[in-house]
Structure formats: structure tokens, C-alpha cells
Structure 1
Amino acid sequence: MFSASWTTKWLRLAATALVGLLVCAAIFSSYQVSDITTPWWSLRRSDHQDTAETEDANKDTSTEVPPSSSDVDWSRFAYTQYATDSEYLCNSVMLFEALHRLGSRADRVLMYPSHMMPNIEVEQTTTDDQRLLRKAAEQYKVRLVPVEVQHRSGDDATWADSFTKLLAFNQTQYSRVLSLDSDSTLLQSMDELFLLPDCPVALPRAYWLLPDNVLSSQVLLIQPTEHEFNRVYDAIGTAGDDDYDMEIVNNLYKDNAMILPHRSYDMLTGEFRNLGEHVHYLGNGYETWDPVAHFNEAKFLHFSDWPVPKPWHQMSDKLREEKQPACRQVEGVEKCVEREMWNDFYDDFRERRDTSETTTMMPAALAYVIDCLDMSQVADSARQCPSSYLSSEWIVLEASRTADPAYGDHKKEQPWHYVPQWDAQDVAASDRLPRA
């Protein structure tokens, strides 16, 4: 028989072993949970990263760049835009401004009609389009690529030039390009998409067309190759009257594309008008729609509210009143969150576009006015400038003691100087602006 001391020893050993098993089980369980809940890009980390890199990678960033981004050659990747006319050129520049502001690391490429600026090496710009192109290149480090607009006559003139987007398949100097429709607002950087596993094309589904499994081409991640470009170009050449970029992408890649989650990468403004019906966007029938929370998780907001016009076109007060989201009753209290957010989307886009347009049109004339003024003496300065500039109805020169010139880098310290200001009522008449 065992003595009492041996019994005590065995009990202690058994208890120690049991505790050890429980600790191991807890660690294993924690590891499994972390694998499930950790974002996909953190699982791509290198095993050779040191502690400092790990700490830096865990820091919260607004752009959600993958933790291993310090090892990435970002020059292999690019965001692409295509502009077929002046309106969409301005939209593209706005999107590049957002990428610049959000700190995106990938290159930026703008495909534009070659007639807008035949020689991109020439520094002088004489049209608003050329000034916008120059602004994109100089301020936002955009690579300008002149192309021939891919136009196809069909039943809907709205999409007649949309094939031009597919020229992104020909940007074979990059390993991957991300094409974003410019009638949108970029809310967060999408750099993480460039690090997805290899596939010819990745894009979201057009969730608003469910249950039909249609791909959306508003966000299009491409691995450009000569083979894929030839396939796309052949499809453009044989497209039917009702076929546009979205139809071609679906015909070629419907069965073998990687699907991106639309909840992050393709939110429509129209979703805020669908009060009480969000199952297609949410992807399930049990989750509650929360306009603020779901907007905050989105990275890309696309303007789609037919028959509401695109945000750079004027919307009448009557149409806005008719089409804006209705308020809803929550426990007897009227809630208008969707209405306020939806109106803010349109107002914000319009304000940013107005800023982009005016800061682009102003310099050619204003810089000339500022340069020709001798800021030290108001009386003398007026005689040094051509009367056509000083008497133009679209500009007002105000004498000031304190303010610096409103535009340009002309910093003056004199007691008196002119501050060129635009006449707000006439600033839209861009065809009447004198050219410097």
C-alpha cells in the first residue's frame, strides 16, 4: 500500500499536469480566435520581422496599410483613372487629391484624351484641361498617359466612352492596377488590395442587382498582361449595341474573378434612400442597418441615385426635396440621419469640385495680375498693369494693409498691397477669362 506522503505527491503531480493542460488549451484557443478575427493582411506578415517592426505594424493608421508595407515595392502598383472629357477630368483630379491626402503609397496614372495636351513635355498651358492635367502631375504626382478614347455608338450615350476604362489592362509596366470610377468619393486608402493573392481580376458584386450574380466594374483590381489586354480589346471590338465596360468584364471574368466585399469597397449613395430594405447590402437578414456605422466602414462611396443627377450637375431644390431620403420614426421620435448624410455627400462633392475648379482656373489670370503689381504703392501699381486686366468685371482688386495676396507664393510685407478677388457672380463664365 502507498503511504499518505506518496498519495499527496501523486495528487500534486496530477494537479500540476491538469493545470498545464488547461493553460495549453487556453493558448491554443486564443491562437485560433486570433486567426479568425485578425484582418487578412496581418496574416501575411514575414516571420523575420523584428519586435520594432511588429510594434509599428500594430499602430492604428487611417489608411490601413498592411503591416508588411515597409517591405513592399509600391512602384509596382498604381491607381488608374480615365478621363474622356473635361467633367470627368476634374473628377479624376479630385480622386487623386484624395489619394494624396490619405497618404496612398502606390503610383497614380491618368489616361486622358491625347488631344487635350498632345505634348506633355511642354510646360506652357493655355486651357483649363491642360491646367488640370498639369496640376495632377505636379501636385499629386500623377503619371499622365495620353490615349485614344474608346468610343462605341450604342443605345445609351452615357456609357459610349466607358470602354476607355479597360485600357488599364494595358498598363503592363505595373504588376497590379486599381481602377476606380471617378463619380465617387474616396473615403479611405485602398492600398491593401494590391497585396491580395494573385488573380487576373478582383472586384465586388453589384449587390443592388441581387439575386443576379453580376460583377460591378466601379472598383476593378487588375493584373495587366498582354494576354488579358488582347482578350479585353477583342471583346471591345465585338461588343453589341447594349454592351459596355461592365458587360465585357462580366462576360470575361464572371466565373473566375476574385470577389471583393462590397460593404467596404462599393457602397452606393442610393443605399441611404432604401429605408427599411438593406438586406442586399448587409448580406444577411438579421443585421440591423446603422447608417453611421456602415458608412464608417466603407472606403468607397459611389454616386448612384437615378434620376438624381451626378453631383457635379446642379440639382433643383424641387428634385432634392422629392428624392432625398425620408425621415423615419424610431420609438416615436423622427430620425433624419440618412437624409442629413445623403445631402452632405452631394454638398461635400460639389464644394470640393468648386474648389478644384476655381483654384485651377484662377492662377493664369491672377498670377499675371499679382506679378504686374508693385505692391509697395497702390497708385503706381495700378498704372503698371494692362487696363484689360484691372477693369475686367470678373476680378476685383482690393487694397489691404494686412492680407497677403490671395493666391500664389507672392509674400509681400508692404503696408499696402492689392488682394485680387474674383467676382462670385461671374466666376462661372470661364470662357471669358483672359489668358495670361
Structure 2
Amino acid sequence: MRLISKRRIRFLVFVLFGVLTVFIVSRCVVHFQYNEEIKYYKKYFQQKKDGLHIYNPLEIKQIPVGTIDELYAARLDGELKSNRVIEWSKFAYVNYVTDADYLCNTLIIFNDLKQEFGTKAKLVLLISQDLVESSTSSKIDDVNLLLRKIQAIDENQVIIKYIDNIVKPKDTTPWNESLTKLLVFNQTEFDRIIYFDNDANLRSDLDELFFLPDHIKFAAPLTYWSLSNDDLKKSYHETQHREKQPINLESYTKVLTKRIRKGQMIYNHLPSLPHSLYLNSNNIAQDIMSSTSSLSPLFNFQSSKKVGKLKFASNLMVISPSKEVFDKIMKVTLPKVLNKKEKYDMDLINEEMYNLKRIIYEQFIFFRKVKNLFKPEVLVLPFARYGLLTGSLKNPQHYPMIYNDILGYKTLDDDGNDILGSLNDTVAKSKYIHFSDYPLGKPWYYTSMDRFKCAAKEEKAEDAESKNEACNIWSSVYFSYKKSSEICSV
């Protein structure tokens, strides 16, 4: 019996060893194949992109401000020349409110969009049913007054929808209702929406974002504040090595402008997001293989939920709503995070929906199967115009990123000359500045702006004058809110 048992054990060990050997060899073969294909397509898209009509799946693209504006101008020009009228009813700005204190700023923003900036897109407010049913009587009166003012901006253009909050059970943090934001993906009566958190200063309309390329289903700025100067240096080095030409952004935007005016495809010519900022290495094949399940003989991708420090911000998003996507969110994605601690809207969007690393894998796998049918659906927006934080205005370490918001490329050399002049210019051109100055609260929680104290960082003792100027720029954003908030008075 012992002899038979030993034979069985040896047989099982032999079988397991054989399976492991086959697994390792197969994995090496797949890794080698991926490597060779990726090398080929990298070179292919680099050398032949001018005449291609297929899309590069190995990059996540960033779109410069000038290119966004050029696309919008081309669309408006096309409307004039061909009488192809833009159906503005198919576009909407969307905001949601679950806290009555935020409702005043929705009124400010919607009023500015209509009266000051003249947008023709719909203005959609998703408001918590609880705010008009279970608030204290004084709060209900305030909420109803503000709702009437919001609706009165334009009876046809403004749409108010009452919603049920998505609440995280047993979560007592201020963000326990933040998953309600996911309802913006369900506004399927519109072809494209611009969602924005309303704890911000909106300084102009964002109409140009409605006219990003049609194949783009999601676009947002990145969390630039998580990057270091070393990250920036690595991104510049990578871009120079890959592109083998200067990293001056203007050389790219000139080409993009010419292609737009000729009606040519621009995606492959857009600046690429440096791999070093979101992949573990510059070896895409290695990253793909390291993310596959080690137990899966078919090497199906099962993404690690780990997200790099660079990810999409969720305070401003351009979305092409889809019933299919929303159903998946509610039935598959949401249940994964609903009961998890410290998992909120940005975590869900970046881990489950738009994981930068997983996007590359899925694009490449789809492209391998049907090259001519592949179209990228994700785009990175420039954060200086669409995602600037107020905290960055008084943080000199963020200035190089603010000036150069297409990561890996340079718009302005940080040579130390006229830094504040450049900051002033950047802020003047910024359209959406998010109130984010922890531990300071949102401006509506303070009865007087005198309560605000600017604590700009000084890198050197002689920087006191620069600090004062930075604080003036910072303060102007908050005083802008205070002045605008008069519209909310009775």
C-alpha cells in the first residue's frame, strides 16, 4: 500500500510539474508574442500615422486646448457653410445636489451659463428628493426658493429632476452620498453631457467640449496634484526618447490644426500620455502579463484594482451616456464598492470603469482582433483649463504643471522668469476652478471672506512678494463667488 501511495504522489508531482511547465512556457510564448506585436505597431504608427485611417491602441491621448477650440470652430464653421444646424437639445450641462448648502452655486453657475455665456445646451439639475421632503421647514423654504430661481432662468432650457440618493450603508463620512454622481451616466436622452461638481468657480461656458471627436465616450482631466517634479522629469525624458523630436507642444498643435482644417483624422497625432505616469514600466507587454491572473490558462485579463497615483479626476467629465454602460454600473460595478470602506465615486470610476492601465490592455486586445473596427473611447483633458484646484494657486510646486498641462510636453519653459505673470495668464484662461483648500471649507460655509486666510508656500525667504501676489490671485477666485452669491438672496 505504501508503495502504491508513493507512486501516486510521484505521479501527481509529475503531473503538476508538467502543468506548471506548460503554463510557464505558454506564458513566455504569449509574452514574447505581445512584445513583438507591440514593437511592430509602435514603429508602424510612428512612421505611417500621417496616412492611417486606423487608431493607435497603444496610447492614451491628451488633447490640447488649442485643438479643442479648433474642433469647435470647425463645427461652427460647418454649420454656417452647410446649414447643418447643431441640435443643442442633444447636449446638456449636468449637476447633482444632495446637500442644500450647495444649491446656491448651482443657481450661480446655471445663471452664468445662460445669461452671461449664452449657452444653448440644456441645463440639468439632479436634486435629491430628500431635500424637498425631509429637510427642516426653514431648509425646505430655502431649497424651494432656489429651485424656483433656477427654473426661472429659462423654463425650457432648465430641467430639474428629482432623484433618490445612492447612500453607502454604515458610512458616516461627508462623502457617503457621493455615489449618487453615477446617475449622470443615465442621462441617455442626450448625445453628450458635461458633468461638473458645483463646488467650483465656472468662469466661462464649456460648449467646445460637446464637440470632441464622436468616438470619444469619456473625457476628463487628470489628478495632476498627485505628481512630483521627478514624475514630470521622467515624463519629459520618455516623450523625447519616444518621439525623437522636441517636446514643444506647439509643434504638435500646428500639425493638428492643419489636419482639422483639411478634415483629416487627428487622434494618432494627439500628444500621448507618458506610460511612466500610469504603467509599472515602459514595457506594455510586461504590464499586461503582470496583470493577468496567474491561475488562468487562457490568460484572460483580470485587472488588479490597484490604481496608480495618476488617475482621472471626477469633478468634471464629458460623457456620452449609454443605457448599456449605466446598467452595468448599477448591476455589476456599484455592488463591488457599495459596502467597502473608503471607496467613493472617484475610486469606482478609476478602478472599475476607466482604469488607465486596463484601458491600454482592452484597446490592444480589441485592436488585435478587428483592427478596422477599433475606435478609442477615452481622452485626457488639459487640467489647467478644466480641472484646476484653488490650492494649486498658492503652491509654487504645482506651477510647472499648471503651465504645462499636457503631461510630457512643454508649453512654457519653467525658467523662473515672470512666474506669477504666467500664473496670472493661466488663471485668466482657466474655465473651471475647483474649490479645494483643505482644511478650509467651501466658501458658502463662511459668513465673511475675512475668515479666509491665504497661506501660500514660500520656497525662499525672498519669495514674500511672490507669495502676496499668489494670494491675491487665489483670493480673487473666492471673492468672485461671494459677489455672485448675491443672486441667491431673497
TM-score by length of 2: 0.55
2:70 pairs with one of 42, 60, 70: 42
In structure 2, the CA distance between the partners of 1:341 and 1:226, relative to structure 1 (3 Å rule), is same
Tell me, yes or no, if the aligned pair for 1:165 and 1:179 is still in contact at 8 Å: no
Tell me, yes or no, if the aligned pair for 2:458 and 2:464 is still in contact at 8 Å: no
Which residue of 1 is the match for residue 217 of structure 2?
Answer: 200
SS of residue paired to 1:179: strand
Which residue of 2 is the match for residue 236 of structure 1?
Answer: 334
Aligned-pair identity (%): 27
1:102 pairs with one of 82, 103, 117: 117
SS of residue paired to 2:396: coil
Q: Does 2:472 align with 1:340?
A: yes
Greater helix proportion: 2
Shift of 1:229: 0.6
The structure with more radius of gyration: 1
**Which amino acid is the alignment partner of residue 88 of structure 2?**
W
Tell me, yes or no, if the aligned pair for 1:327 and 1:336 is still in contact at 8 Å: no
Distance 1:286 1:126 in 2: 52
Which residue of 1 is the match for residue 186 of structure 2?
Answer: 170
Tell me, yes or no, if the aligned pair for 2:221 and 2:386 is still in contact at 8 Å: yes
Which residue of 1 is the match for residue 141 of structure 2?
Answer: 127
Greater strand proportion: 1
Distance 1:173 1:329 in 2: 56
Which residue of 2 is the match for residue 245 of structure 1?
Answer: 345
Alignment of 1:344-355 (within 5 A): 344-353=476-485, 355=486
Alignment deviations for residues 187-211 of structure 1 (CA, whole Å, 9 cap, x no partner): 1111111111122211110100125
In structure 2, the CA distance between the partners of 1:69 and 1:214, relative to structure 1 (3 Å rule), is farther
Distance 2:187 2:108 in 1: 22
**Which amino acid is the alignment partner of residue 345 of structure 2?**
D
Alignment of 1:373-388 (within 5 A): none
1:219 pairs with one of 316, 319, 323: 316
Structural RMSD (CA): 3.3
**Which amino acid is the alignment partner of residue 488 of structure 2?**
E
Distance 2:450 2:152 in 1: 41
**Which amino acid is the alignment partner of residue 203 of structure 1?**
A
**Which amino acid is the alignment partner of residue 270 of structure 1?**
G
Structure 1 unmatched ranges of 5 or more? 1-35, 55-67, 119-124, 363-436
Shift of 1:127: 1.6
Distance 1:85 1:37 in 2: 33
Alignment deviations for residues 262-310 of structure 1 (CA, whole Å, 9 cap, x no partner): 1211111111111254233333583354221110121101011111111
Alignment of 1:52-67 (within 5 A): 53=80
SS of residue paired to 1:296: helix
TM-score by length of 1: 0.62
Distance 1:207 1:37 in 2: 16
Distance 2:350 2:194 in 1: 17
SS of residue paired to 1:343: helix
**Which amino acid is the alignment partner of residue 89 of structure 1?**
L
Distance 1:183 1:37 in 2: 23
The structure with higher relative contact order (CA 8 Å, sep 6+) is 2
Which residue of 1 is the match for residue 255 of structure 2?
Answer: none
SS of residue paired to 1:258: strand
Point out the more displaced range, 213-222 or 334-343: 334-343
**Which amino acid is the alignment partner of residue 471 of structure 2?**
R
Structure 2 unmatched ranges of 5 or more? 1-63, 134-138, 232-308, 360-377, 405-409
SS of residue paired to 1:278: helix
